[in-house]
Chains A and B, each alone.
Chain A
């Protein structure tokens, strides 16, 4: 370790000029979620427990469909980036890679399923 040069230690570990991308995307999604979260809570919340017909009619409204769709897109993107940090903090090696892949699939899979449902109800 003592004989390793600075260059040897950093090769392959650098930012490749995209070091702030994760941080900046978290900032962007956080700001968006400051607006989307209250909108989503007061859009989705009242629908929970409503009769089927009322829910279908409500979700057919473009504004409600858009709010829920945006919450799914931005929220799950934010989640994917956040859980990445958690995985990187506590795991290493193959476990880390496996968990990163699994959460990537879960996040974007959930997003796709949710958007499909919203699209089916909205159109």
Chain B
């Protein structure tokens, strides 16, 4: 790996040069949902700690998390969680060398979006 030309090579085009496509959009969203899940984890651990603390504190935290704002946040959390789960599943499939062709990757991208919404609706119905 003699690399004598280092420092004098053309740079690869960066992010903004590419046309937006489903693949990059779903990938970026996968990262965002992953990061956002910290907020959900924080709320759930707070709720657990409140349950372990006592009734008055639990009622306060549980009330906040089931308020209108709490419902919106938890619904978005569920949507993000299902989306990230399907995104992870797509990565596991890709890691086996399957589904890497553009057409298959696009199909999985749409499946992630539709699947995450469908799973969220199912969760809201059954939970």
Interface of A toward B, CB cutoff 8 Å: 1-2, 4, 6, 9, 27, 30-31, 33-34, 37, 41-42, 44-46, 48-50, 52, 55-56, 59, 68, 72, 75-76, 79, 82-83, 86, 106, 110, 113-114, 116-118, 120-121
Interface bin, chain B: 35 or more
B41 to A46, Cβ gap below 8 A?
no
A2 with B7, Cβ < 8 A, contacts A83-B38, A86-B31, A106-B38 known: yes
B49 to A79, Cβ gap below 8 A?
no
B127 to A2, Cβ gap below 8 A?
no
Task: Mark the stretch among B17-25, B86-94, B110-118 that contacts chain A.
Answer: B86-94
A42 to B127, Cβ gap below 8 A?
yes
Interface class of chain A by DSSP: helix
Residues of B with C-beta under 8 A to A49: 62, 65-66
B127 to A46, Cβ gap below 8 A?
yes
Residues of B with C-beta under 8 A to A44: 44
Residues of B with C-beta under 8 A to A31: 92
Residues of A with C-beta under 8 A to B51: 52, 55-56, 59, 117, 121
B88 to A33, Cβ gap below 8 A?
yes
Select one of A37, A52, A68 contacting B59, CB under 8 A: A52
> Is there a chain A Cβ closer than 8 Å to B48's Cβ?
yes
A110 with B42, Cβ < 8 A, contacts A33-B85, A52-B51, A121-B52 known: yes
Q: From residue A23, how far is it (CB to closest CB) to chain B in Å?
A: 9
Report the separation of the CA atoms of residues A50 and B66 in the bound assembly, to the nearest whole angstrom.
10
Report the separation of the CA atoms of residues A80 and B126 in the bound assembly, to the nearest whole angstrom.
30
Residues of A with C-beta under 8 A to B74: 48
> Is there a chain A Cβ closer than 8 Å to B101's Cβ?
no
